[in-house]
Structure 1
Amino acid sequence: MAVLHSAPRFTLIDGLRDVLGKALGAHLVEAHEEHGELLFTVKRDSIEDALRILRDDHGYQQLMEIAGVDYPSRPERFEVVYMLLSLTTNNRIMVKCSASEDTPVPTVTTLWPNAGWLEREVFDMYGVLFAGNTDLRRILTDYGFEGHPFRKDFPLTGYHELRYSEDEKRVVYEPVELAQDLRQFDFMSPWEGANYVLPGDEKADTPPVEEPKTTEKAGDTGAGKKTDEHAADKVSAGAPAEEDSGEDAPAPEPTEDQPARPEREGKTTDTAAATEPDPSDDDADAAKDAK
């Protein structure tokens, strides 16, 4: 038997952008659809009021996630993205605002208690400050960690590394020292060709020599009539290997000095008597047992 639910399986977003955009009013900066989802950009100082309207008036009860994005080329390089879920309409939307290193974002812990941990994560990874968060501490990195790992200008190897010191019997921090430069792997297809100059390819653009190098006379190169007359002479003439003694060397003596064996007389079937036991051996064994 099929069970009917009041909430639809999914909600179409057609017309939803205009409804929610009108509800946000002056708090809204931009609203657009991307990849089948609605994104609303609101003013940073109005983020708490905008999210309160969406929660109380339009049924977006749950704050699923708070994420950060870094755009170093922008004046306000960070974006804080809030992902909301409506259980009654089975619909998700994203609300975001921009911020910089010294412009705090109002906290939304007054709306959702779980925002405390989510804001701590964005602060730890990106360095975004949240005004009103009473427990804004690092949550993923270690004590005394310097920098924010998810920023685009943070080095992939970090600034410090930790290890256990056998001498001090504790974990110590040390500056990162790389034995070699960070490798850059190229996954481009060799059939398409690289978009950079490979080692040695810089010679391909070198123009050929306009005038070949020549000599003024043949004697400078060692060529000429005098050289051609001796071209057939052997360089090894007069060497011991080239001298002919005129005598044929005798054949070497054989290395084996073993007389020829006489042929076997009879056949192998005639040797059966040699393999039969001697009766006298049995008598000798019996005499030993009697003793």
Structure 2
Amino acid sequence: MSQSLEDLGAHIAASMTSAIEAHEVAFGELNLTARADQIYAVIKFLRDDPRCKFTSMIDICGVDYPERAKRFDVVYHLLSMQLNHRVRIRIATDEQTPVASVATIYPCADWFEREAFDMYGILFSNHPDLRRILTDYGFEGYPLRKDFPLSGHVEVRYDSEQQRVVYEPVKLAQAFRNFDFLSPWEGMTLPGDEKAGDGRNKP
């Protein structure tokens, strides 16, 4: 299997020399690194080429590396059910440069790209309806960016006096914050913790 994937990777790289920057086989899957401005042509080739036949799109997701100038990776996962092969394509982009939408190649990419936009702020050009899909209207920020605060920016609650949902800035009163930095559970008491200091659990 790995040799056939190596051969397939070499075929793709030789066929798209200006678009594919690197290829390797890892964990039984073919991994391609492509140029962001060529991603539409790469995805179309992988679907249509008779040696590839990647007719199913599994996922599109984002990865955030805030220390890089091009902080985002956009990762595409495709499947060839006929040839029983999988491929992962990775491109790099920044916060301002849009990536070409592949929704006209795989219609399911529509919602995958909307999710990447909603969670990371990754832009897709020529997308039929690029708007948030998981967060609420008027949501500020991008929750899966590594610089997004864990507590978020606002909290949502139902106000019985106004009889509607209201949004308020997050307020964490320091007096009520109790952190146990020795425990990964931050203060949660688990069954058996009472034995930790009496020596009975030692060999």
- Normalising by structure 2, we get a TM-score of 0.82
Following superposition, the deviation at residue 82 of structure 1 comes to: 0.5
Q: Name 1:50's counterpart in structure 2.
A: 42
Q: Deviations over 1:116-149 (max 9, x none)?
A: 1110000000000000002001000011100000
Distance 2:107 2:3 in 1: 27
Equivalent residue in structure 2 for 1:99, among 93, 96, 99: 93
Following superposition, the deviation at residue 17 of structure 1 comes to: 2.1
**Secondary structure of 1:26's aligned partner:** coil
Tell whether 2:167 aligns with 1:177: no
* Contact 1:120 1:136 survives alignment (8 Å): yes
Distance 2:31 2:95 in 1: 23
5+ residue gaps, structure 1, are 1-7, 189-291
Equivalent residue in structure 2 for 1:108, among 102, 118, 126: 102
5+ residue gaps, structure 2, are 185-203
CA 1:182 to 1:78, structure 2 compared with 1: closer, same or farther past 3 Å?
farther
Tell whether 2:65 aligns with 1:63: no
Following superposition, the deviation at residue 12 of structure 1 comes to: 4.6
Q: Name 2:192's counterpart in structure 1.
A: none
* Contact 1:23 1:53 survives alignment (8 Å): no
Following superposition, the deviation at residue 167 of structure 1 comes to: 1.5
Distance 2:143 2:180 in 1: 20
* Contact 1:28 1:43 survives alignment (8 Å): yes
Distance 1:171 1:63 in 2: 37
Following superposition, the deviation at residue 182 of structure 1 comes to: 7.8
Tell whether 2:128 aligns with 1:146: no
Q: Name 1:21's counterpart in structure 2.
A: 13
Tell whether 2:127 aligns with 1:127: no
Alignment-mate amino acid for residue 113 of structure 1: P
Distance 2:84 2:148 in 1: 38
Alpha-carbon RMSD across the aligned residues, in angstroms, is: 2.0
Which of the two has greater strand per residue?
2
Alignment-mate amino acid for residue 169 of structure 2: P
Distance 1:133 1:45 in 2: 15
Larger RCO, structure (CA 8 Å, separation 6 or more): 2
Following superposition, the deviation at residue 150 of structure 1 comes to: 0.2
Q: Percent of counterpart pairs with the same letter? A: 46
Q: Name 2:69's counterpart in structure 1.
A: 75
Moved over 3 A (4+): 180-188
Distance 1:11 1:90 in 2: 14
**Secondary structure of 1:45's aligned partner:** helix
Q: Deviations over 1:131-184 (max 9, x none)?
A: 000200100001110000000000001000010111111100000011335846
* Contact 1:158 1:176 survives alignment (8 Å): yes
Alignment-mate amino acid for residue 33 of structure 2: T
Following superposition, the deviation at residue 23 of structure 1 comes to: 2.1
* Contact 1:11 1:90 survives alignment (8 Å): no
Following superposition, the deviation at residue 187 of structure 1 comes to: 5.2
Distance 2:136 2:11 in 1: 45
Distance 1:182 1:79 in 2: 36
